[in-house]
Amino acid sequence: MSLPRGKVKTLSTPTAPTLALIHTSPTLAPGFTKLCHHHIPEAKVFHMVDESLIQDTIKAGSLRRITIRRLVEQVASAEAAGADAVLVTCSSIGPGATMAQQLFDVPVLRIDEAMAEKAVRQAQTIGVLATLRTTLDPTAALLHEKAAKAGRKVKLVECLCEDAFPAVLAGDTATHDRLLAKALVEDLKGVDLIVLAQASMARVLTTLAPDAVHAPVISSPELAVLNARKALNLPQLARVGA
């Protein structure tokens, strides 16, 4: 087919999907950037950080309505900025993300949702490790919710390392990691599987010998990013050796 002189034929290309990540700590952004580049290389990614969301929740001892409203405002801002999906990466404010799911046309994802679904599929006695009560309680509630939805009965063994969080805030990551390692190796014996309730805990596994922990351990970051890929309606990646 000939084109009129002076006209250039252009082919439309699909717009890359955009994922927004809402963090309560800036330290999480680099790790999630790496995971997104690996698992969603064709997507655009941007980060939003509001440390006051977790600070308020810790101070109050639970997730307050005003904090949920502020999280909803963050999601609305992400949507207005062009996000096709939003991933909330803090488990302590996860219930707020669940509420936000009912308010937006774009998918709003909880960091721990895919992890909870996998845990209840694979195990009956599940160890739950956290450094904050405000994280442990919503994670346990989510596991029970997902188990009920799947028609599964699960028993949770909760382990709260309360001294680890102040240590990491003070910059003493060695003490934080040592306390979590002890809990993984000694305090959660007898469970079928262990879930790490906070995304920041995943790196502790790299400090342990491969056979140090008697049960499989799963964490939320990579599973959440894979879940985000599905939410963006992207095909599964074919990777060599997968």
What's the order of all strands across the beta sheet hosting 108-110?
Answer: 44-49, 18-23, 85-88, 108-110
Same-domain pairing of 121 and 208: yes
Residue 239 is assigned to a structural domain of this protein: no
Q: Is the pLDDT of residue 154 over 60?
A: yes
Say which amino acid occupies 202: A
> What pLDDT was estimated at residue 201?
85
Taking a C-beta distance cutoff of 8 angstroms, is the pair 231, 107 a contact? Answer: yes
Q: Model confidence over 193-218: pLDDT tens digits?
A: 999 998 888 888 888 887 889 999 99
Q: Model confidence over 47-84: pLDDT tens digits?
A: 999 999 999 999 999 999 999 999 999 999 999 999 99
In whole numbers, what is the pLDDT of the chain averaged over residues? 90
> What pLDDT was estimated at residue 5?
53
Q: Domain with 205 in it: what CATH number?
A: 3.40.50.1860
Residue 4 is assigned to a structural domain of this protein: no
Boundaries of domain holding 85: 18-111+223-231
Same-domain pairing of 146 and 104: no
